[in-house]
Amino acid sequence: MLLIFNKTIMFLNELSIQNIMEVNRDLVENIAKVSRLKLSEEELNSIEKDMKNVLEAFENIQEIDTETIKMSIQPVKLNNHLRKDEVSECFTQEEALSQTKNKKDGYIMGPRSI
């Protein structure tokens, strides 16, 4: 998990996030105003608390010593499991059109778009 956050931590260390802003009621109200959200008092209080918790979590992450940890972009190896592309028989036009009642001039008709 430390490997995933390494780049973020380095970025936050450069910014020193605790000196950037303090989460307070005015900030939450401004964000709500800019986002065109009408929030109740309860929602404003909850969001303020949540934002403080998020910044506190990032401050805790900043305290982790990551100097000796090698950065990893993809910590879990991904494998593509694809089938071989093999030529096989497919439906004829008549067979495909036999499965629908919405057809015209040898094509399947889709719904009208506005």
The domains of the chain are located at: 2-62
Tokens of 104: 């015209």
The tens digit of pLDDT for each residue in 14-44 reads 555 445 568 889 988 998 899 898 999 999 9
Q: Are 71 and 7 in contact (CB under 8 A)?
A: yes
Share of residues in the chain with pLDDT > 90 (%)? 15
pLDDT at residue 77 in the model: 78
- The C-alpha atoms of residue 15 and residue 7 are separated, in whole angstroms, by 13
The more confidently predicted of residues 73 and 53 is: 53
